[in-house]
Structure 1
């Protein structure tokens, strides 16, 4: 449905399924927990969940994300990767058959003290080096035994950790984290999970029972120095807009707020109907590429709320109405992010509601 905007994100569901297959081939002996938090990294959480099949579970960050999936009829297991925030949430988790990560003493105490009418499936998280959330190694075994003894907890208990440097292929921290994690796996443990997108693609020894791909599912490389195509991944999102103006511009003339860019030669400038009101980063510097009619052209001047300006060149043939690709097919989001000084994760998750999502097969 057209919402009146010419700035739209095309979501290629065939590419999504292709990427799932590629990741499954990388870890043929593991099941997939598909991470679809943050509205499936901007791709539309419900539609992504409806498209992915043959997976073990979905991973979300917050309870409201999980409840939205249940309300949409998603019946697969759903894991709260940050766990629950309030003891009162536990009854909601049980009611909607939601699984939860347990990463703190406060969460553990809340589970032990609750009066639940059904058992709760938990994932006990070990901090092996991220030092963000998770039980320290000295606390982990006691937490495991306490959960194992609780009438509120389903058995067996699943185990999880998270890598902080898996995208650095020459960094041995991942191997050391994996070694630490394995020393805490019990003979009666349930499922074991540690591999994120980067570890799934580059550290096969970490695959275990469950892999947890996020960004790679959407066809974006988790590595700074490798592109998605290196792994046969296809971009799922292509952010598009149109030229709404093509006009001559003289040497010595500036453009945009603050007059921060001045032409050194006669040229033609194109104005694209996209800006930070759509989620395109305001801090995108001069030279950040966009794709117009199959050729890369640079942004000039400041990105404003609804528009950005590109230098088309004096002898360009572009016209008003021509399509502009901001990232996606033909222009990887990671390449754009590198120019801006951010990561592709931020680009795809920060699109605003003004950008319509168009799903194609």
Structure 2
């Protein structure tokens, strides 16, 4: 029998989450963000379940080409644009919308030999200070782009650093408003958090990412618990061994956990080489045979250990949910001091994946 770890993807939940986004932003079109191989879910596995979207947004040219080859004919937005000028013929061939955030990209676009002009997303740096033109340069760049034959439509684009906070977009919105003054252009500003919680930022296109996959953009599940969002990925395994510790005995590397009394411990076929966070401490929630319990001791490469005190009936072969419908990925991530995004993207290639 093969190792029992498995990642299951609920494709109905994915479609449901897209509809939650549409209800949250009913007047905007939706870019479904499938970067990082659809946040670790596998773009080739999931894109059809999002095919009612208005467009897909991503980073990798190879994934954009894959979507075209699979039959997607709608818009594709490359969130960081092209990385080298010699990619522009492929942007032309596959009709990709490109973001523009640097002067060199403008020059490359101006000099390119294209069959037809490209749609452009002009990136405004509204305070995150990663990519984009400063607000006071946007009018100048706009005029430059309008004079280039290879440019078709222009949409203003930005990104929020703190949209999960009630007051987190006020400053960026003021800078974007300043930058866009007098420009007749559609806008795409909202990530998952702004889509859910800041309707004033919806405008023409929203760009949901993490919320499509059933986790909270704030990292706190309670923030989306009543939204209708459903987890898409369930990581499950089984107990492969049981140990009974005496009081004072330890388990795992570094002897980080010591039993205070006699205690049954289950060994689960899942470790950091599968994508489970190595730094998850004792007490990280886990579901054993439908009963909530917790990890104990260090996470190993291929195994982790759990407290079987709440589930005395559990034994070898008992099912375990590491995260999913009951143990939310946000809970595991919070215990490990990270976010659900990282855990999704860290799912290892050696973990079998099935769609449900």
2:284, 2:335 within 8 Å by CA — same for their partners in 1? yes
Q: 5+ residue gaps in structure 1?
A: none
1:129 aligns with 2:124: no
1:60, 1:80 within 8 Å by CA — same for their partners in 2? yes
Query: Which of the numbers 181, 191, 208 marks the counterpart of 2:186?
Result: 191
Structure 2: how far apart are the matches of 1:315 and 1:168?
Answer: 39
Q: How far has the Cα of 1:314 moved from its partner? A: 8.2
Structure 2: how far apart are the matches of 1:96 and 1:126?
Answer: 25
Q: How far has the Cα of 1:348 moved from its partner? A: 0.8
- Any idea what SS the aligned residue of 2:267 has? strand
Query: Which of the numbers 201, 216, 236 marks the counterpart of 1:221?
Result: 216
Structure 2: how far apart are the matches of 1:75 and 1:99?
Answer: 13
Structure 2: how far apart are the matches of 1:99 and 1:356?
Answer: 33
Query: Which of the numbers 27, 30, 49 marks the counterpart of 2:28?
Result: 30
Moved more, 345-354 or 216-225: 216-225
Structure 2: how far apart are the matches of 1:315 and 1:64?
Answer: 47
2:12, 2:49 within 8 Å by CA — same for their partners in 1? no
- Any idea what SS the aligned residue of 1:233 has? coil
Query: Which of the numbers 60, 78, 81 marks the counterpart of 1:80?
Result: 78
Q: How far has the Cα of 1:186 moved from its partner? A: 6.5
1:241, 1:325 within 8 Å by CA — same for their partners in 2? yes
Structure 1: how far apart are the matches of 2:174 and 2:227?
Answer: 26
Query: Which of the numbers 192, 195, 201 marks the counterpart of 1:200?
Result: 195
1:285 — aligned with what? Answer: 281
- Any idea what SS the aligned residue of 1:300 has? coil
Q: 5+ residue gaps in structure 2?
A: none
CA RMSD of aligned residues (A): 1.7
- Any idea what SS the aligned residue of 1:100 has? strand
1:5, 1:354 within 8 Å by CA — same for their partners in 2? no
Structure 2: how far apart are the matches of 1:215 and 1:135?
Answer: 26
2:315 — aligned with what? Answer: 319
1:244, 1:273 within 8 Å by CA — same for their partners in 2? yes
Q: How far has the Cα of 1:262 moved from its partner? A: 1.6
2:281, 2:295 within 8 Å by CA — same for their partners in 1? yes
- Any idea what SS the aligned residue of 2:98 has? strand
1:227, 1:334 within 8 Å by CA — same for their partners in 2? no
1:91-114 deviation per Cα after TM superposition (whole angstroms, max 9, x unaligned): 111011111110111211211122
Query: Which of the numbers 158, 163, 172 marks the counterpart of 1:161?
Result: 158
Structure 1: how far apart are the matches of 2:275 and 2:84?
Answer: 32
2:190, 2:208 within 8 Å by CA — same for their partners in 1? yes
